[in-house]
Amino acid sequence: WHLSEWAAKPVGFVSYGGIAGGLRAVEQLRQVFAELHAVTVRDTVSFHGGAATFDGPDPRDPESCGAAAKVLLDQLGWWGRALRQARADQPYGE
């Protein structure tokens, strides 16, 4: 149902959980998005320790997650521009 909406689009992940911070779930999702022909960026924002890493709605270490978010958003922006141009040059799948 949603194959064309994801094809040749960039995807980033933000996860949280126990010691692994949801990273195992992210690795499974990478395979799902590969099947949708989406491009996943390597870096993620991951909150290890679940709720213990937050003080209400705010992260306890905003500098760390802010730095990770900047890397993720920079990569998403780069891939978004590159893929937009590629789709404009030739629609995906043709």
In angstroms, the CA 82 to CA 74 distance is 12
| Nearest residue to 54 (alpha-carbon basis) of 12, 24, 14 | 14
Q: pLDDT tens, 35-57? A: 999 999 999 998 888 788 888 88
pTM of the shown model: 0.85
- Mark out the alpha helices in 1-94 (DSSP H runs): 3-6, 23-35, 62-89
Distance between CA atoms of residues 61 and 45, nearest Å: 12
Is residue 90's pLDDT more than 70?
A: yes
Q: Which residue has the higher pLDDT, 44 or 21?
A: 44
Give the residue extent of every domain in the chain: 3-89
